[in-house]
A and B are shown apart, each in its own frame.
Chain A
Amino acid sequence: MKSSDEFELNAFVDGELSADQQAEMLEAMRADPELARQACELGQLKAQIRLAYGTPPQVRRRGADKVRESWRAIAASFTLLSVGMVSGWLLHAGNPDDRAANAGRFVVLDADGRGRAPAVAADEETRIVFHLTNADQTVAGELLDEVEGMLNAYAADGHPLRVEVVSHSEGLDLLRESLSGHKERIHQLAVRFPNLAFVACKNTIDRLRVERGIEVKLIPDAEVIDSGVSHVVKRQKEGWSYIRV
């Protein structure tokens, strides 16, 4: 990528481009999936940096407007990106029957509002969100080992624990019927532990359809949320611990 492109992409993710320039960038992203992917990754990294360093109260006090503005810019970028993706999706809409296969499993995690509580809530519940972006099924298997170990250890100690595994980008492979190396294991874990959820990113599913014409079929234990990135950011704001794998 040329360095002028990099600056423009950064400016786009930061919401610093004019409306015309943004439209141009969205157009370029539709034509160039690689560019769209980079924008997505860049937005994700920036959101995480802001989250890590925007939260201390003393910082917020000094630069509250700046932080708020940055968040607004990020939110605006994501909105624009989603608009682009949705319009791309509409343009390339595939067989409605295939779409229906995943449509029924949209979930509102936290209907009970428990996700809004701090990482270790009053009832001492520990909350961890794992963000899986790696396609390597060995790595995914090690993650499942860790998750299972923790669920067992916490249950044995009588400490409540909630775990979500968010599969996003290449990490979605873990939850794809055709590519997952751990279908059976995930099913066993999901049955054994009601406090464990496997979550798939719909943006990734849509991107695979638009870019490569792939209709993703998920394993039965996967739940679907709109955006993996905004979900992990939301969880961190709610006080969950975050671990990227």
Chain B
Amino acid sequence: MKKLMSVLFAGLVGLTTWSGVATAATEGMKQKVVYHVNEDDPKQQTGALRNIQNHINAVGKDNLDLRVVMHGNGVSMVLLPDALGRVKGFKNANADPQMQASIDALKSQGVSFKVCNNTLTGRKVNKDEDLYMVDAADIVPSGVAELAILQGQGFAYIKP
């Protein structure tokens, strides 16, 4: 099954490259994509960030408007390990130094990471103390609504 997924992923990157090149060359427009993260498996999250890096490699950072929307368990991606005792409802806190480095690398290439405020209030998360580098501009009122709004604006939706 792993192999199957890698074959599929290669296909995804191929398609991405193809449409990305076509878009950039013909329209001079950015490809708009939103990645949806709502699960707390650190391996899956690391894989998602790798997908995004591959996406950037394939299309080029200047041709992309790429956002990551986290809600529910997905917020664990930016949850600091020492916050796990303070917050409610999380089994994992995955923002270890390695995850932080991956996030920084993607941010430096223009990726923005959006966090759902419903999750923060519902699970007693303090964005300044418990999360890795999330500021007010990164908070959206509802992650689900944000996904719907972005798709309404022409963003392609990917759930890694």
Contacts and interface: CB of A to CB of B under 8 A. Distances in A.
A pairs with B: yes
Interface in B100-152: 118, 122, 142-145, 147-148, 151-152
Nearest to B159: A244
Chain B interface size, as a band, is 20 to 34
A156 interface: no
A119 B158 contact: no
Chain A interface size, as a band, is 35 or more
A10 interface: yes
Nearest to B26: A58
Contacts, number: 82
A53 B15 contact: yes
A216 B144 CA distance: 30
A243 B7 contact: no
B16 interface: yes
A49 B12 contact: yes
A50 B38 CA distance: 23
A158 interface: no
A243 B157 contact: yes
Contacts of A244: 36, 159
B11 A58 contact: no
B144 A146 contact: yes
Given A146-B142, A149-B142, A150-B145, A126 B152 contact: yes
Contact of B152 (A10, A42, A120, A142): A120
Nearest to B31: A56
A149 B148 CA distance: 14
Given A45-B8, A53-B15, A149-B142, A243 B148 contact: yes
A6 B10 CA distance: 14
Interface string A110-130: 000000000110000010100
A142 B72 contact: yes
Contact of B19 (A38, A42, A59): A59
B23 A153 contact: no
A58 B27 contact: yes
Given A150-B144, A243-B147, A49 B157 contact: no
Interface string A35-63: 00010001001100110110110110010
A176 B144 CA distance: 25
Contacts of A146: 71, 118, 142-144
Given A119-B152, A146-B118, A3 B3 contact: yes
A223 B18 CA distance: 39
Nearest to A118: B152
Contacts of A126: 148, 152
Which of A38, A56, A58 is packed against the most chain B CB atoms within 10 Å? A56
A34 B104 CA distance: 40
B160 to A, nearest CB: 10
Contacts of A56: 19, 22-23
Contact of B1 (A1, A58, A62): A1
A49 B15 contact: yes
Contacts of A243: 36, 144, 147-148, 157
Interface of B: 1, 3-4, 7-8, 11-12, 15-16, 18-19, 22-23, 26-27, 36, 38, 71-72, 118, 122, 142-145, 147-148, 151-152, 156-159
